[in-house]
């Protein structure tokens, strides 16, 4: 996943004490059928029973101290059962709110997934990683 412009600016301002960034206690994993922009736009979420999925620090391993640094999930993350077709899911992202909010990071799925009515999209343990170089 790559950071959006919003998060990059918040981190830089925080580092140089030009405003304190307070990360939310809960982040939300979202799905998109379009390619998000670094500005946080063009993130098209499904409808028909869809909602973002909460994720907290307990769902993630400590970041590796390496180049690149990597933070990976240690818990399965499951979305609700699709009430209708969600179409082809091509990207995922981390948000700071369950609805609305700011897109913090986004990534293309290695393999796009078509989600139909009755399907449940899941990311297994280790299925989501954030990399920072």
Strand partners, 73: 60
pLDDT at position 33 = 98
What is this structure's pTM?
0.94
pLDDT at position 20 = 85
**pLDDT for residue 24 is more than 80:** yes
- Average pLDDT on 47-76 reads 96
**pLDDT tens figures, 101-132:** 999 999 999 999 999 999 999 999 999 999 98
Q: What are the domain boundaries of the chain? A: 2-132
Q: Taking Cα atoms as reference points, which of 73, 79, 70, 48 lies closest to residue 124?
A: 73
| DSSP category for residue 61 | P
pLDDT at position 72 = 97
Q: Taking Cα atoms as reference points, which of 80, 85, 91 lies closest to residue 121?
A: 80
DSSP string, 28-43: EEEEESS---TTS---
- Average pLDDT on 53-68 reads 96
Q: Give the pairing of strands 103-115 and 27-32.
A: unpaired
**pLDDT tens figures, 66-77:** 999 999 999 999
Please give the Cα distance from 28 to 101 (Å, whole number).
10
Q: State in Å, rounded, how far the first CA of the chain is from the last one.
A: 11
Residues 6+ apart with CB under 8 A from 79: 31, 50, 51, 53, 120, 121, 122
């Amino acid at each position: 996943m790559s950071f959006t412009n919003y998060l990059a600016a918040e981190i830089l301002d925080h580092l140089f004490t030009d405003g304190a960034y307070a990360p939310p206690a809960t982040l939300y994993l979202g799905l998109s059928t379009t390619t998000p922009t670094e500005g946080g736009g063009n993130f098209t979420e499904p409808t028909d029973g869809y909602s973002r999925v909460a994720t907290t620090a307990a769902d993630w391993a400590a970041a590796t101290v390496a180049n690149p640094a990597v933070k990976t999930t240690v818990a399965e993350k499951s979305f609700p059962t699709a009430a209708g077709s969600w179409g082809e899911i091509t990207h995922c992202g981390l948000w700071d709110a369950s609805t609305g909010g700011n897109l913090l990071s986004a990534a293309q799925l290695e393999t796009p997934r078509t989600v139909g009515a009755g399907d449940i999209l899941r990311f297994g343990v280790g299925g989501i990683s954030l990399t920072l170089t």
